[in-house]
Each structure stands twice: as C-alpha cells, then as structure tokens.
C-alpha cells in the first residue's frame, strides 16, 4: 500500500534538512533556534486554546493583574487584583511555608501568574519553575523568576517529562477549570510529579485537617442559605447558574468549579494521589499567625512511593517568623 503523498514529501524534506544541518554549523544553530521558537509557539497556542475553551480566557490579561486599576484597592466589584505584587499575593508566606515543610530540590508552580512564588522559592534554594495559561503574566515576570516561566496549560499538556518535579503546586488554579476538565488536569499534575502535590482550592463543607469551607462569596448571595441547608451530604460542584458573579456578570475571579473538600479529595484519589491530613494540619498551624487559615483551603497529596523524608519540616519548634519570614500580615498580628 503506497504512502500518502504528504508523508513522502515530509520525509524527503526531513532528509534534505538533515543533510544541510550536517554540512553547515550555522544552519544547525538556526534550526535549533527555530525549533525552540516553534515549540514555544505551540505551547502558547495550546494554552490560549485552553483558556478560551473555559470561557474565561479573556479575563487573565493586564487588567486582571492590576494594570490600569485603582491601586488603593477599589476593584469596583470586578474580578482580578487592584494591584498584584509579591506582598499582595502573599507569595512570601506561601514560599516559606513550602520551603519549611517540603525538603525538595525542585518544584513546579502551575498557574504561577507572574511567578512571585517561583521567585521566593528560588531565593530559598529550590530549583523552581512555573507555568501559566496567561501570556501576559509570563511576559511580565517577577525579577527573580525571569527565565523560569513558560506559557503552558494543564489541558494542552505540560512541556516537562513524567516525574520531573518533586513538588508540584497549584495555588488557586484548579477552580478556574470547568468540572468536566478537572479529572484530566489533575492527571497532568500527577504525571509531572514524583513526590508531593500541594494545592489551594476554594472549597466548602467539612475539612478533616483545618477550618471548614463556606459558600459565601462562592454562590449567588440569594442562594447561600439554600446551599447551607443541603447539609454535609451535598458535595457539588455548584451548577454554573448558581455561581457568584462579579460586576460584569461573569463568575467571580473566573471560578468555574466550586465543590466540597470531599469532592476534590475524590478527584485526586482517582489520579492515584493520597491526601495527607497530618501534613495539612502542620501547614495550617504555620499560617495561623498570619490569620490565613480560614481563607487558604489547602491540600497536600502524596504520590505512591514518595520518600517520607521529603515531608520532614525544618526546625518544627520555631515559627516562620522566627525562621526569618517578614510579612505585613505577621507584623499586624504581632502588633
């Protein structure tokens, strides 16, 4: 059976290209540059398609990260940040929390925005990388994250091999996906992780390791009482029609999947990841002085066979502030 004409033409072109590359070093260098450029373009295109398919791709542009907004904090009821910087993002607290509780050599932050967490972790000695579907965010990196961020999305596939990172983080990221895409996204987190996954996800209902979640701010105000009345048996996800809306009529912060702690735990279990409530309790204790425990619905999951020593905390008898963390929330609490 003869091969399709386009396949034969491609093979011929490839042989010719290899011949030229073998003869001319300058051609090899140009081809390598072109290949990297094409790979980057493919990754950006996949991430853009992923953001568009969620229906909120338009949201994560400059205005979402504070461009052109009132820096005093008035967001006029719209999604995004009045200003987005290392302090406002609480990146220092998140970075020190991870450094203290996970003894890892490398990490990947999925949904990294401009990379403040990557910057903090690299300052603390972790070989950290990050990726985001927002080209705007990646093109405006935090200084310490420059060169370590890529445009990429969970659904279009992350550009790293299996088990590449000991710690994979997804902070306020998974809820931006529609419920029917969550399974695939968590599977991709699992694929690139060799030890632990850390996530923060707005959740409701009972929590085995810290403060329970709530519906306020996540469900339309007029429906909150109804959802509370459903009790512990209701796990979600909340139908899109009942999700809280911003001043533009869009889901608040682009949140598309609002579900219970139990629902999220089951989705990670389906990907072969085991939740670690004992580690989560330790993390909640670490962020309690900053009064963040009620607001960070955090999860820690373990990959089968992950070394136990990775989760041994550094100097557990000392607080993050005593270890050297400086942050306005801690200063306000101590005052």
- Could you read off the pLDDT tens digit of each residue along the chain, which spans 335 residues? 455 555 566 567 667 766 776 777 776 666 555 554 545 555 455 555 555 555 555 678 888 888 888 877 778 888 888 889 999 999 999 999 999 999 999 999 999 999 999 999 999 999 999 999 999 999 999 999 999 999 999 999 999 999 999 999 999 999 999 999 999 999 999 999 999 999 999 999 999 999 999 999 999 999 999 999 999 999 999 999 999 999 999 999 999 999 999 999 999 999 999 999 999 999 999 999 999 999 999 999 999 999 989 999 999 999 999 999 999 998 877 66
Under 8 Å CB-to-CB from 5, ≥6 apart: which residues?
none
Phi–psi pair at 166, nearest 5 degrees: -75, -35
Under 8 Å CB-to-CB from 3, ≥6 apart: which residues?
none
pLDDT at residue 270, rounded to an integer:
97
Alpha carbons 157 and 175: distance in angstroms, whole number: 18
Question: Do 96 and 124 touch, CB atoms closer than 8 A?
Answer: yes
Dig out the tokens for 93 from the structure.
């607290």
Q: Is 41 exposed, middle or buried (0-12, 13-18, 19+ CB in 10 A)?
A: exposed
Dig out the tokens for 294 from the structure.
């009620």
DSSP 203: E
Alpha carbons 250 and 220: distance in angstroms, whole number: 12
Q: Is the pTM of this model over 0.75?
A: yes
Chain mean position to CA 159: 15
Question: Do 94 and 21 touch, CB atoms closer than 8 A?
Answer: no
Rg, the chain, Cα only: 22
194: part of which helix (H) or strand (E)?
Answer: strand 193-200
Alpha carbons 77 and 86: distance in angstroms, whole number: 22
Alpha carbons 37 and 80: distance in angstroms, whole number: 31
pLDDT at residue 71, rounded to an integer:
78
Residues paired with 128 in a beta bridge: 107
């Amino acid at each position: 059976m003869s091969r399709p004409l386009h396949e034969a033409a491609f093979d011929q072109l490839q042989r010719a290209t290899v011949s030229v590359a073998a003869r001319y070093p300058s051609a090899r260098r140009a081809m390598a540059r072109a290949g990297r450029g094409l790979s980057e373009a493919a990754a950006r295109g996949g991430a853009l398609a992923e953001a568009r398919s969620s229906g909120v791709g338009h949201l994560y542009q400059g205005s979402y990260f504070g461009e052109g907004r009132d820096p005093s904090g008035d967001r006029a009821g719209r999604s995004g940040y009045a200003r987005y910087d290392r302090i406002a993002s609480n990146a220092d607290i998140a970075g020190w929390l991870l450094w203290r509780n996970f003894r890892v050599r490398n990490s990947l932050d999925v949904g990294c925005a401009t990379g403040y967490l990557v910057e903090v972790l690299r300052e603390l000695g972790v070989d950290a990388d990050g990726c985001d579907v927002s080209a705007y965010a990646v093109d405006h990196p935090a200084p310490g994250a420059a060169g370590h961020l890529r445009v990429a999305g969970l659904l279009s596939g992350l550009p790293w091999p299996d088990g590449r990172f000991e710690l994979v983080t997804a902070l306020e990221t998974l809820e931006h996906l529609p419920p029917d895409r969550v399974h695939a996204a968590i599977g991709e987190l699992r694929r690139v992780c060799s030890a632990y996954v850390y996530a923060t996800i707005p959740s409701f209902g009972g929590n085995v390791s810290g403060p329970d979640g709530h519906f306020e701010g996540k469900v339309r105000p007029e429906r909150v009482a109804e959802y509370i009345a459903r009790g512990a048996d209701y796990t979600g996800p909340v139908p899109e029609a009942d999700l809280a809306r911003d001043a533009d009529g869009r889901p608040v912060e682009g949140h598309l999947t609002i579900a219970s702690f139990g629902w999220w735990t089951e989705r990670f279990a389906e990907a072969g990841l085991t939740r670690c409530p004992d580690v989560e309790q330790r993390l909640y204790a670490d962020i309690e002085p900053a009064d963040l425990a009620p607001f960070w619905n955090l999860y820690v999951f373990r990959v089968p066979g992950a070394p136990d020593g990775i989760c041994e905390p550094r100097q557990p008898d000392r607080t993050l502030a005593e270890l050297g963390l400086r942050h306005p929330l801690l200063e306000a609490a101590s005052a």
